[in-house]
Amino acid sequence: MGRFLLGRLALAVFVVFVVTLLVAWAVRLSGDPSVMLAEGSGAITAKDLENIRAALGLNRPFSEQYAGFLVGMLTGDMGNSFMGGRAVSGMVRQALPLTLMLAALSLAASLLVSIPLGIRAAVHRGGAADQAIRILSLFGLSFPNFWLAIMLVLVFSITLGWLPPAGADGPSSLVMPVLTMATILSATNVRLVRTSMLETLSAQYIMVARSKGLTETVVLYKHALRNCAIPLITYIGLQFGGLIGGVVVIERVFNWPGMGSLAFDAVASRDYPVLQAVVTVLATMIVLVNLAIDVLYGFVDPRVRAE
């Protein structure tokens, strides 16, 4: 077991390392931040640009810049933003909790909706409720998330005036971003719960539970749900990366000051330190979540350990 864990951990570290290297290398191919910084200057000369590059540390060889970044990440010093020189660690500390909160609430809201609906669809397989739920989920799958976001703003902010269209000004600011994310997530989750529930319901122990005279609620939510939770949890782990990716887009539309907004700004201005830090932090989180699932598998299924 120890060797299995160690192997998975080494693999995780390797993946994060490769991601940071790729990002640091690719972002440097995409444009010169000193020119972005000087945009609007009428009289910028090659020498001025050279000065700015030197001040940003961009005249050093790539290996040196990358090594500096790695050492910094390990010691918790993520460097300073090219745009204004703020400490990147402070910017990440401000943005990360906001993004995690959005992701967690969206996931929770989605589960609250998709579990009961999925179960209902499975129990009444082929009935009107099943058809309705499946069609609704198809709609959810087909919406691009930003389009849904804009439609919500149009209805709830501009027409009805109930909710703020943007910002992080209070609990009401959370409603539309969470609703958008949760709708998209629920579309797949509902189908997943339905399928795995159908499989579980045909198992013999369900028949036994029913013949013991247990109520349908106890059968469904105590016996069946527990068993179909395993594939659901697995899938949520895999979904995590996509969830974070979705949050990035949604943050921009709702002007939510999280990691997505930070990444967007950093890309636009070629702010290497901020972009590298954001990608590294998010990649590390995605890798950790998947590592945790790998480890859980190992506990649940001895065959995985033996591989």
Partner 1 sequence: MRLRLIAASALAVALGAPLPEAKAAGTLTIAQAQDPNNWDPIITFLLSWGAVGSNIYDGLVMRDEQLNLKPGLATSWEVLDQGMRLRFKLREGVTFHNGEPFNAEAVKFTMERLLGPEGAKGPQQSNYTSIGAVEIIDPYSVDIVLKRPDPVMITKLAGYGAMIVPPKYVTEKGSQGFGAAPVGTGPFKVTGYENKVHITLEPSGHYWGGKPKLDKVIYKFIVEPATQVAELQSGRVDIASQVPIGMIGAITATANLQLLSTTGPTVTVARFNTANGATKDERVRKAIVMAVDREAIVKQILQGHAKPVTSFQSTLSFGFDPAQKPIPFDPAAARKLIAEAKLPPGTTVSVDFASNNTVFREVAQAIAGYLTAVGLKPQARPFEMNLFTNDIIPNGKTGEMFAMGWGGWTFDYDNTAYLMYHSGERWNPYDKDPALDAMLEGQRTIADRGERQKALQKIANYVAEHALELPLYNLDTYYGVNKRVKGLVVPPDNRFRLIDVSVD
> What residue ranges bind partner 1 (CB under 8 A)?
30-32, 35-46, 48, 51-52, 55-56, 81, 83-86, 91, 94, 97-98, 100-101, 104, 150, 153-154, 157-158, 161, 164-171, 173-174, 252-255, 257, 261-262, 264-265, 270
Between CA 294 and CA 300 the distance in angstroms is 10
- Rounded to a whole number of angstroms, the minimum distance from the CB of residue 117 to partner 1 is 26
Helices of type H across 124-258: 128-142, 145-152, 171-201, 204-211, 216-218, 225-253
* Of 188 and 284, CB closest to partner 1: 284
- Rounded to a whole number of angstroms, the minimum distance from the CB of residue 48 to partner 1 is 4
- CA-derived radius of gyration, the chain: 24
* Of 44 and 198, CB closest to partner 1: 44
Phi then psi for residue 161, to 5 deg, are 70, 25
* Of 52 and 282, CB closest to partner 1: 52
* Of 95 and 122, CB closest to partner 1: 95
Handedness of CA 34, 37, 39, 45 (dihedral sign): negative
Which one-letter DSSP state was computed for residue 170? Answer: S
* Of 52 and 192, CB closest to partner 1: 52
Beta bridge partners of 87: 80
| The pair of three-digit structure tokens given for residue 150, joined into one six-digit string | 């804009």
* Of 70 and 87, CB closest to partner 1: 87
Burial 29-55 (b: 16+ CB within 10 A, else e): eeeebbeebbeeeeeeeeeebeebbee
Between CA 234 and CA 224 the distance in angstroms is 17
- Rounded to a whole number of angstroms, the minimum distance from the CB of residue 188 to partner 1 is 24
Between CA 41 and CA 179 the distance in angstroms is 43
